[in-house]
Amino acid sequence: MKRETLVALDEARRNGRAVVRALNTSSGEERLVDPATDTSPLGQEAAKAARADQSGTAEIEGRHWFLRVYNPPLDLA
């Protein structure tokens, strides 16, 4: 994981925002996706994963991605 990715994940966690780390399994390309605002095909798959609170794989436009969901903790109070 790149340092700037780790910093961005920490910032999202501190601000209570959901974020999805997308990793292209063929090329190693890494992206952080905001599931609330990204309307691209990758963003739509990230939003589905975030809503389900479940990481997993997705094929988007012929490319294979691993989507790692980082949701804020649930407030059970």
pLDDT tens, 14-50? 999 999 999 999 999 999 999 999 999 999 999 999 9
For the chain, report the end-to-end CA distance as a whole number of angstroms: 34
For residue 12, give its domain range. Answer: 3-70
Is 75 contained in some domain?
no
**DSSP structural state of residue 71:** P
Taking all residues of the chain, what is their mean pLDDT, rounded to a whole number?
95
Is 20 contained in some domain?
yes
Q: In what order do the strands lie in the sheet with 56-60?
A: 30-33, 19-24, 63-70, 56-60
Is 14 contained in some domain?
yes
Across-strand partners of 70?
A: 19
Its pTM stands at 0.89
Is 66 contained in some domain?
yes
